[in-house]
DNA sequence: TTGAAAGCGCTACCAT
DNA sequence: ATGGTAGCGCTTTCAA
């Protein structure tokens, strides 16, 4: 059995409240060196570690945070989770990760379970089929930060990427390389980030007067098969595009596979720009021009923002932090003007 | 503020202990339907959720488990973590994941922190630079399960793969395809699983009377660069091998890159069998003959074993579960006999 | 069938 | 400078 404060107190021949004070290191109270020494010695002998459960109950603070993500198996979220974990570890918080699989009911259930466990704060990439439980967080003034996703209709803390701009920029880059017909394989349509990318894409198409046929936007879902099918569909159009903007790691692999299967060559026959994570790129043999997200920064800033809100006496104003995507030029885009 | 038992009791006009009994659903006590109804109604109205912290303190059981892994960012461990999380979620446990980065000091610290949080059990892929803290778990009769790694000198619960056999089998497969000089790029040398694979490889080399030059074993570490360097080194030997057995996802990518850079073609010039996870394979464009691990099964069985031990009244005997690797034949091995 | 009371281990307040 | 004590919210005996 683990030693308790009382055990230490008995061994050091003082009262348990004194032990608590000494071990918590309350500076302002001057405690004789002799007493401190006795107590530390006793704690050492008994290998005393404070019972966090009791502490949490008493202090109404658990030094733990919740992290709710779609799926930790996705390298994108794994990397964000990891950087949050590092921050938590460094500052004495314990992080509890849960996965929703994009299931709203599961998200609701997880949130309740985390609350009954007394988390001090929450970081969440919400499913976004419902907004009520998030609104309740606001109402309760509970500290939380959204990551990767945002509710445009509601002010909250959030750390998100500039998806709309990065999609616009990607198309602009293709235009500068002489492309006039640019397709998009979008990934899961109803997702916040995807919607933003599509908006950026459309804005660019309009702005640069590109071919705006609706068939140029295809795909739904994040599996390899989704990418494979969408690419086939697009490349079988009468008016084939010269370039494709692709969203999603596995979608990209699927699309490349389709291109190979159709006997086409990147970038000679078709140019590619992909939203693909840096964690993912090493796994690919083909060099790829990519738009990627600063995942470590997203995690770090989300944690810092949360910490600020958790440790503030009074409610703080919300911050929406927009991090910049990173564009990396590699040999998957042909310059048609050259 | 969250509602407490007392709040519910007041609203339902009964004592809090009665509420506790009813809400815990103690069957054996017959409580009038009327009372139950009142209590459930009150709980509903107040949106009551039990305070797990208080419950844990009282019951000396937290319904939480710890999971200590090298790095959740590694798809191998991410997949194991995910399957354990699913099991936990389904059975009402909360899982706390921590990463060691293969740092023994960090592992020790994490274990203490998890204990002071009152976890009921632990699943761990240990760094293995030290064995003392694991021995202590045994001494304390604390429920724990090792995954992926094992201490040959100590009996414990564990779920591991048959690395030695799978390496032997992989070499045998190459022999059956006519290969007589088989190299090995080993990954991080001092790792338990790697040592086992090397033993299996060496046993096969001896058994099938293959070229046993020590230069045929190369590499140390799990980065792409490690794989790249090791492959170059091996392929620059005077007596080049005809096949390589590679350990590690990124190591494999690095090795393939080196092969491409040297102007060689797989499998025409060099055959490859890789220890690569199924989660990883989709990311590769080149088809690869692989040895992979049943990650979901590893996680599931580890959790089930842990649960058995956590919920048993008396200490149970330890189980070492060996799961079978999966060999998948694809077009990266040339048949020299054909 | 239900209420009263003790106590899990800790911290913080009030004494001295 | 230190001890005593109350109480966080819950479960669980013991009484009635």
Is B329 among the domain residues?
no
Instruction: Say yes or no: B34 and B152 in one domain.
Output: no
Instruction: Say yes or no: A209 and A167 in one domain.
Output: yes
Point out the least confidently predicted range of A18-27, A265-274, B241-250: A18-27
Instruction: Say yes or no: A189 and A152 in one domain.
Output: no
User: Does residue B26 surpass a pLDDT of 70?
Assistant: no
pLDDT at B216: 98
Question: The domain spanning residue A22 has which CATH number?
Answer: 1.10.260.40
Question: What does the pLDDT average to over A321-331?
Answer: 96
Chain B hits for A58, CB-CB cut-off 8 Å, are none
Tell which of A14, A29, A50 closes a domain: A50
Residues 6+ apart with CB under 8 A from A34: none
User: Does residue B129 surpass a pLDDT of 80?
Assistant: yes
Instruction: Say yes or no: A74 and A179 in one domain.
Output: no
User: Does residue A192 surpass a pLDDT of 70?
Assistant: yes
pLDDT at A279: 83
Question: The domain spanning residue A144 has which CATH number?
Answer: 3.40.50.2300
Subunit contact A73:B279, Cβ cutoff 8 A: yes
Band (A29; pLDDT cuts 50, 70, 90) = low
Residue of B nearest to A76 (CA): B73
Instruction: Say yes or no: A284 and A192 in one domain.
Output: yes
Tell me how many domains chain A contains.
Answer: 3
Instruction: Say yes or no: B70 and B46 in one domain.
Output: no
Instruction: Say yes or no: A151 and A177 in one domain.
Output: no
B41-97 pLDDT tens trace: 999 999 999 999 999 999 999 999 999 999 999 999 999 999 999 999 999 999 999
- Within 223-242 of A, beta carbons closer than 8 Å to B belong to 224
What number of C-beta contacts closer than 8 Å exist between A and B? 120
Distance from CA of A207 to the nearest CA of B (A): 34
User: Does residue A26 surpass a pLDDT of 80?
Assistant: no
Instruction: Say yes or no: B99 and B14 in one domain.
Output: no
Chain A hits for B52, CB-CB cut-off 8 Å, are 116-118
pLDDT at A230: 98
Q: Which of residues 14-53 of B touch strand C (CB under 7 A)?
A: 14-18, 21, 29-32, 35
Say yes or no: Cβ of A61 under 7 A from any atom of strand C.
no
Subunit contact B115:A279, Cβ cutoff 8 A: no
Question: What does the pLDDT average to over B123-140?
Answer: 96
User: Does residue A201 surpass a pLDDT of 90?
Assistant: yes
Task: Compute the mean pLDDT over every residue in chain A, rounded to the nearest whole number.
Answer: 94
- Within 279-318 of A, beta carbons closer than 8 Å to B belong to 279-280, 282-286
pLDDT at B25: 75
Is A181 among the domain residues?
yes
B271-313 pLDDT tens trace: 999 999 888 888 888 889 999 999 999 999 999 999 999 999 8
Is B92 among the domain residues?
yes
Chain B hits for A224, CB-CB cut-off 8 Å, are 282
Subunit contact A72:B81, Cβ cutoff 8 A: yes
Is any Cβ of chain A less than 8 angstroms from the Cβ of B75?
yes
Q: Count Cβ atoms within 10 A of the Cβ of residue B226 and give its class: 0-12 exposed, 13-18 middle, 19 or more buried.
A: buried
Closest C-alpha among B115, B181, B169 to residue B143: B115
Instruction: Say yes or no: A140 and A199 in one domain.
Output: no
Instruction: Say yes or no: A271 and A190 in one domain.
Output: yes
Range of the domain at B31: 5-50
Closest C-alpha among B111, B135, B141 to residue B124: B111
Instruction: Say yes or no: B177 and B130 in one domain.
Output: no
Chain C positions with any atom < 7 A from a protein CB: 1-5, 7-13
Is any Cβ of chain B less than 8 angstroms from the Cβ of A91?
no
Instruction: Say yes or no: A187 and A112 in one domain.
Output: no
Is B197 among the domain residues?
yes
Question: What does the pLDDT average to over A108-123?
Answer: 96
Task: Compute the mean pLDDT over every residue in chain B, rounded to the nearest whole number.
Answer: 95
**Best to test chain B binding among A2, A94, A227 (most B CBs inside 10 Å):** A94
Chain B hits for A82, CB-CB cut-off 8 Å, are 71-73, 99
pTM of this structure = 0.94
Angle of the A52-59 helix axis to the B52-59 helix axis, nearest 10:
140
User: Does residue A30 surpass a pLDDT of 80?
Assistant: no
Question: What does the pLDDT average to over A97-104?
Answer: 96
Is A221 among the domain residues?
yes
Is B273 among the domain residues?
yes
Is A212 among the domain residues?
yes
Chain B hits for A285, CB-CB cut-off 8 Å, are 253, 256-257, 260, 284-286
Is B258 among the domain residues?
yes
pLDDT at B148: 97
Q: Count Cβ atoms within 10 A of the Cβ of residue B273 and give its class: 0-12 exposed, 13-18 middle, 19 or more buried.
A: buried
- DSSP collapsed to 3 states, B65-128: EEEEECCCCCHHHHHHHHHHHHHHHHHCCEEEEEECCCCHHHHHHHHHHHHHCCCCEEEECCCC
Band (B28; pLDDT cuts 50, 70, 90) = low
How many CB atoms neighbour CB B300 within 10 A?
17
pLDDT at A272: 97
User: Least CB-CB distance to B82: which of A2, A73, A249?
Assistant: A73
């Amino acid at each position: 059995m683990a030693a308790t404060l009382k055990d230490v107190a008995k061994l050091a021949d003082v009262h348990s409240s004194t032990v608590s004070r000494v071990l918590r290191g309350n500076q302002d109270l001057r405690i004789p060196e002799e007493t401190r020494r006795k107590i530390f010695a006793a704690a050492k002998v008994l290998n005393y570690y404070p019972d966090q459960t009791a502490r949490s109950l008493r202090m109404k603070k658990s030094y733990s945070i919740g992290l709710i993500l779609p799926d930790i198996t996705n390298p994108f979220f794994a990397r964000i989770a990891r950087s949050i974990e590092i921050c938590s570890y460094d500052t004495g918080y314990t992080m509890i990760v849960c996965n929703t699989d994009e299931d709203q009911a599961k998200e609701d259930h997880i949130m309740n379970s985390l609350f009954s466990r007394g988390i001090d704060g929450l970081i969440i990439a919400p499913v976004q089929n419902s907004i009520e439980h998030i609104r309740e967080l606001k109402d309760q003034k509970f500290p939380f930060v959204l990551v990767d996703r945002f509710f445009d209709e509601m002010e909250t803390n959030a750390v998100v990427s500039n998806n709309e701009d990065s999609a616009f920029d990607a198309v602009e880059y293709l235009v500068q390389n002489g492309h006039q017909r640019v397709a998009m394989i979008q990934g899961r349509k109803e997702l916040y980030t995807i919607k933003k990318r599509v908006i950026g894409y459309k804005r660019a198409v309009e702005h640069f007067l590109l071919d705006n046929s609706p068939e140029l936007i295809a795909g739904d879902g994040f599996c390899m098969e989704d990418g494979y099918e969408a690419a086939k569909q697009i490349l079988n159009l009468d008016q084939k595009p010269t370039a494709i903007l692709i969203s999603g790691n596995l979608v990209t692999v699927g699309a490349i596979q389709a291109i190979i299967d159709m006997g086409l060559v990147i970038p000679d026959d078709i140019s590619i720009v992909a939203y693909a994570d840096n964690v993912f790129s090493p796994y690919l043999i083909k060099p790829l021009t990519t738009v990627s997200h600063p995942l470590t920064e997203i995690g770090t800033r989300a944690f810092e923002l949360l910490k600020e809100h958790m440790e503030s006496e009074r409610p703080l104003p919300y911050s929406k932090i927009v991090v910049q995507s990173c564009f990396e030029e590699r040999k998957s885009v042909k310059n048609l003007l050259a």
